[in-house]
Amino acid sequence: MQSVRWGAARRQVTAAAAGGEGAATNADTAERVGLRLAALLVGLALLPACQGLVGTILAPSYRGWALGPVRWLLLPEELRVLRRLRTDRDAALFIAEFWRRRDPDPEAPNNRFYDRFEERVTAADRLYGEEGRRGSLTERGRALVLLGPPSTLRVSQQSAPVWDPQRPARNPRYAVRQLSIEAWEYRAEDLWPQLVDLLVAAGGAGSVSLTFVVDSDRARLSAGDRALELAALASVRSTG
């Protein structure tokens, strides 16, 4: 699957914003991009929902973008806009704005958030791959992409009964299977301040606890999904 990188999207947007007007300063280009994207978002919000539109019109690189690990960062309102994109240029504008909203220092030459995201995706792919699925698209991969490595990680074993319909009827049709339980703990000081604020506002203590049940090399998140949702929300840079 092809992926759309921030640098490529930024180059396309800069070229589109510059048009035939000649050279412009970075500040002028950024302002034009912001204005054009604002108009784009307003216009797209007025369009009727069209099922399958993205899949039939946009280039493969853009169609697959939201299916990759960036899915963990996409907010509901961004998904609604994404599904209404009509052209590759609109998609390039959207992606550039997506990463700009998450840039902690827009004046810096590099987007540190994007760089960290790429590093975490690479680590998740190496650590948590499952059969038929790259590591960054698994549930543990989602946690690593959104929160980074845990402050502490504890692994324990638990016995669980499993129904086995293949056993003869005269024998008990269940077996006992050993499951691994992974407890990921994040201290408040190891999290983004904006995430800690959201956790506290939601009634928490500012720390995060995740529990994964690992069975046959496939992990399932059994506790902590709300914290990951808040982490995606906290990724957007505050403009207040």
Which of the residue ranges 69-83, 172-186, 196-210 would you say has the lowest mean pLDDT? 172-186
Residue 220 CA to residue 125 CA, distance in Å, equals 16
Query: Rounded to two decimals, what is the model's pTM?
Result: 0.72
Task: Give the Cα separation of 50 and 66 in Å (integer).
Answer: 17
Do residues 72 and 142 lie in contact, with contact meaning Cβ atoms separated by under 8 Å?
yes
Which band of pLDDT confidence, cut at 50, 70 and 90, is reported for residue 58? Answer: confident
- 101-140, pLDDT tens digit by residue? 999 999 999 999 999 999 999 999 999 999 899 999 999 9
> pLDDT band for position 18 (50/70/90)?
very low
Note the pLDDT tens digit of each residue in 156-197. Answer: 998 877 666 666 666 666 677 788 999 999 999 999 999 999
The predicted structure's pLDDT at residue 213: 95
pLDDT score of 17 more than 70: no
Amino acid identity for residue 101 in this structure: R
26-45: pLDDT as tens digits: 444 444 444 444 444 433 34
Q: Rounded to an integer, what distance in angstroms lies between the CA atom of residue 6 and that of residue 184?
A: 30
Of the chain, the end-to-end C-alpha distance in Å amounts to 37
pLDDT exceeds 70 at position 21: no
